[in-house]
A and B are shown apart, each in its own frame.
Chain A
Amino acid sequence: GAVVSQHPSWVICKSGTSVKIECRSLDFQATTMFWYRQFPKQSLMLMATSNEGSKATYEQGVEKDKFLINHASLTLSTLTVTSAHPEDSSFYICSASGTGINDEQFFGPGTRLTVL
């Protein structure tokens, strides 16, 4: 089946620093990638949708200048959390679509971000 990886799987950073999270589709070309955020014991909330080579579309309430998304190739999207603060601590999950049944989204394993 289609595999999506994320790197790193967890990261701890100091407040004010920026953190980059990578999402890769390993065995298929992902025309669309999605970034979700999951708070403890809560559901996944879609942050943004990105198509290769174009600007990401952000959901209402998500600051595009704080959460920078780049989808430069059909196998890689990056999410950069700029000037991170403790309230940005969360589980970030990406998904990718472009193959499979009904443009099925394949989810990465997630990245746990802790901001001190």
Chain B
Amino acid sequence: GEDVEQSLFLSVREGDSSVINCTYTDSSSTYLYWYKQEPGAGLQLLTYIFSNMDMKQDQRLTVLLNKKDKHLSLRIADTQTGDSAIYFCAESRGTSKIIFGSGTRLSIRP
């Protein structure tokens, strides 16, 4: 079946890099996403990667995909207090149905 897993919490010091990891089970996944959710708000698409890519960089964000191990990571460089949020890993097969992970709560300490 379809399943997306990620750790529940991550705490990093301001200015350090944050790395959020995710594993998925569906080998037919076409798109892999990272969403950000701030308290009481909806989801914001941060970035996505096609399954035939292994890396994508967008300013402070770097996505790495290991398709063989079905492992996806999101690296946030120079983490700031405004990065505090819940980050959801998600996948789809391009049929519009998106399967979400449980979310990783990122907290920033001074």
A-side residues, CB < 8 A to B, are: 4, 6, 32, 34, 41-46, 49, 93, 95, 97, 102-110, 112
Contacts and interface: CB of A to CB of B under 8 A. Distances in A.
Given A93-B43, A107-B43, A44 B100 contact: yes
Contacts of B102: 42-43
A107 B100 CA distance: 13
A49 B97 contact: yes
Nearest to B89: A43
B interface bracket (residues with beta carbon within 8 Å of A): 10 to 19
Interface in B31-51: 31, 35, 40-45, 48
Interface of B: 31, 35, 40-45, 48, 88, 94, 96-98, 100-103
Contacts of B100: 43-45
A45 B101 CA distance: 10
